[in-house]
Homo-oligomer: A and B are copies of this chain.
Amino acid sequence: MVNSIYRKALFDIPDSLIYLDGNSLGPLPKNVSARVAEVISAQWGTHLIRGWNDCQWMQQPGSVGDRVGRLIGAPPGSVVLGDTLSIKVYQALSSALKMRPERRTILSEKGNFPTDLYMAQGLINTLDADYSLLLVESSEIEAAIDESVAAVLLTQVDYRSGQLLDMQKITALTHRAGAVSIWDLAHSAGALPVDVEQSQCEFAVGCTYKYLNGGPGAPAFIYVRPDLITLTEPALAGWLGHDAPFAFEPDYRPANSIGRMRVGTPPVLQVGALDAALDVWEDVDISAVREVSIELCELFIREVEARCSQLRLASPRNASDRGSQVSFSFEHGYAVVQALIDHGVVGDFRAPDIMRFGFTPLYINEADVVLAVDKLELILRNDIWRQAKYQVVKSVT
């Protein structure tokens, strides 16, 4: 099974680097450079303004969005690309509140990725009404979903611990309480099987620069449940979400399609990069990815616990409760991660003490995992992380 999805040859990864941070920024698929060069020279340079027609730039947020949709169980025409995940959260949340005008609570989790919470706070501040953002521990989510809740905004896989929430079950509870369900799939898309359609959630959003390898700043995506698309009221009523953008009508009239979730001009170079990156996924069975990911995560946990007793597992021990990453906590985690990077193993650090490692079976295999733990063990056993250079805090960690 490993051999059927391992395809490191499709990526440009520096020799001898073990990259366990594809959950933060995926590596470069080999076909991206040529594709973007083509978009620049053969498209922009040659067609200029006509590229919007001749090269399908205008349609790509939908057509490439459908390619992402296939990886999350979304039917064609229900996903569109654009902007950033933060913007897509705002669109989903503002639409959701409009769907439940009599309710005033947004429910989320304390450990949700901050931008989701910040965007909710910014929306509430903008609305200047008596909305509140209720934050609970992950263990309290189910009990907190009641009929005061307008929308439940959750990230399926926790960015720190990797905890995997039960999307199907929580969405059903959300609906039972009459609330709207919004899922952030940032750490899910390309990492594990997701079926947004089956879950019946109203909205799903995500980014494409992690497991989908779309490159730094790749566009985000938004899914709207097909039966609700024409009922959503876009807060960000940009011209490319208009039913007839080039009629230049004075009044906003949203498209009768997922296109209404578009805002402004799409980032054509980034969309081209993502489109190329998605070629890697063409014949990949996401269930097989999940199966191997679990094997790699289990192996990593076993090896670390056997050899690095200073570290404490900060992820769920049960594989079915975990995404495609494993975190360990350690007081000096920041320095250890810096030392690991220096030794050719890239993971990342999340404050206050989380060392996070992503396992992406497309280019990581069992030998990589064992070698990564060899280096981790060395760094800990020899106190290499205590060297001054590993204590220097960088702006982006």
Q: Which residues of A contact B (CB under 8 A)?
A: 12-14, 17, 19, 21, 24-25, 27-28, 32-33, 36-37, 40-41, 44-46, 48-53, 57-59, 83-87, 90, 94, 98, 110, 113-115, 117-119, 121-123, 125-129, 135, 207, 209, 215-220, 233-240, 242, 245-252, 263-271, 273, 341, 346, 348, 350-351, 394-397
Which residues of B sit under 8 angstroms from A110, Cβ to Cβ? Answer: 250
Which residues of B sit under 8 angstroms from A220, Cβ to Cβ? Answer: 264
Of B49, B83, B98, the residue contacting A25 (CB under 8 A) is: B49
Which residues of B sit under 8 angstroms from A135, Cβ to Cβ? Answer: 250
Q: Which 8 A-B pairs have the closest CB atoms?
A: A84-B264, A122-B237, A115-B239, A217-B267, A86-B238, A216-B268, A86-B264, A28-B45
Tell me the minimal C-beta distance from A54 to chain B in angstroms: 9
In the complex, A38→B209 CA distance in Å? Answer: 18
In the complex, A129→B269 CA distance in Å? Answer: 39
Q: Is there contact, CB below 8 Å, between B351 and A248?
A: yes
In the complex, A88→B46 CA distance in Å? Answer: 30
Q: Is there contact, CB below 8 Å, between B118 and A252?
A: yes
Tell me the minimal C-beta distance from A5 to chain B in angstroms: 21
In the complex, A85→B57 CA distance in Å? Answer: 18
In the complex, A98→B27 CA distance in Å? Answer: 42
Which residues of B sit under 8 angstroms from A12, Cβ to Cβ? Answer: 41, 45
Q: Is there contact, CB below 8 Å, between A239 and B126?
A: no
- Given A83-B264, A114-B250, 12 more contacts at CB 8 Å? A25-B51, A44-B215, A50-B346, A52-B396, A114-B248, A117-B250, A117-B251, A117-B252, A215-B268, A216-B265, A217-B269, A267-B269
